[in-house]
């Protein structure tokens, strides 16, 4: 009898040890899985869970979100960070309604054509929502494959075509088994084969791991320097958005000025929010979340 494959071992481990997350439940819709994948980008699971549940309670299908305003999407996004994701998700919902009758498409090329859906998200939805065979490669998966196969302590800072090929080579031929393996690889990297403190004694492929056999240790420092938040424009943007989210109408500029003492930085952050399409000016000196109220009059281009 042949030895179990890498994918088989990790999949068995996953079926016994996977975290109980709502987007993994058998009844999770393709829309719910798409929402989870967008929310989980650069955001920990513990922060995503309440936002995910509230989002789907309000907008259980793409058509419900497409019918609501961009401002409400930004409000519901709350403090997850990178709020442009809320706008992209609403644009995505609108495209799903217009192009696919309100159903999340199952073809990879159609998923890739949706606004704000990149290579990772499209493959993740195709695999996890529709049980298709695609290499789903995030930071965790790259680390697992790099260590177990290549024998290196860590992967590079960005996904390369070689990472997709290396991961695909590990997937079973049968689509449903491949989709399960993709989820298993990701979970293994998230909870066992972690960047700094891997729990190798709990790993289902410890005995065949090339990195473990090499005797190398995990890098002492981060592969990428964490982004500073305190005092940055990102913090100021978050404070400004916080005021605007809590308001039911336009907010005068003097009220926004109270959130940060550095006037130049505050002005720069506010201008960035306007440029990113998250905030719009109202009248001479007030601001609101984009689309939060009656449409603004079009400028008279004849004058």
Residues tagged active-site: 37
Q: What angle do CA 300, 269, 65 make, to 5 degrees?
A: 70
The HSE-up count of residue 123 (CA atoms within 13 Å, CB side) is 16
Does residue 157 contact residue 148 with C-beta atoms inside 8 Å? no
Integer distance in angstroms from the first to the last C-alpha of the chain?
83
Q: Whats the size of the chain, residue-wise? A: 303
Nearest to 193 by CA among 207, 205, 182, 180: 205
């Amino acid at each position: 009898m042949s030895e179990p494959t890498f994918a088989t071992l990790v999949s068995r481990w996953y079926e016994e040890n996977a975290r109980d997350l709502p987007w993994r439940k058998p009844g999770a819709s393709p829309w719910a899985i798409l929402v989870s994948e967008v929310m989980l980008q650069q955001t920990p699971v513990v922060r995503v869970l309440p936002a995910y549940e509230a989002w789907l309670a309000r907008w259980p299908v793409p058509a419900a979100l497409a019918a609501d305003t961009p401002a409400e999407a930004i409000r519901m996004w709350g403090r997850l960070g990178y709020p442009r994701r809320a706008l992209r998700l609403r644009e995505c919902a609108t495209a799903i309604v217009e192009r696919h009758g309100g159903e999340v498409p199952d073809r990879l090329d159609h998923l890739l054509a949706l606004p704000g859906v990149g290579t990772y998200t499209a493959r993740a939805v195709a695999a996890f929502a529709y049980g298709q065979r695609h290499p789903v490669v995030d930071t965790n998966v790259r680390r697992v494959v790099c260590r177990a196969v290549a024998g290196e302590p860590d992967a590079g800072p960005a996904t390369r075509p070689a990472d997709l090929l290396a991961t695909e080579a590990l997937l079973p031929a049968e689509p449903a088994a491949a989709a399960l393996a993709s989820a298993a690889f990701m979970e293994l990297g998230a909870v066992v084969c972690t960047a700094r403190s891997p729990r190798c004694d709990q790993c289902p492929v410890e005995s065949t791991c090339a990195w473990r056999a090499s005797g190398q240790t995990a890098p002492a420092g981060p592969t990428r320097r964490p982004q500073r938040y305190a005092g940055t424009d990102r913090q100021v943007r978050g404070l400004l958005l916080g005021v605007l989210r809590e308001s039911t109408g336009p907010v005068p500029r003097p009220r926004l000025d109270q959130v940060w003492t550095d006037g130049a930085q505050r002005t720069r952050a506010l201008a960035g929010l306007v440029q990113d399409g998250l905030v719009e000016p109202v009248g001479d000196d007030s601001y609101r979340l984009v689309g939060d109220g009656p449409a603004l009059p079009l400028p008279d281009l004849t004058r």
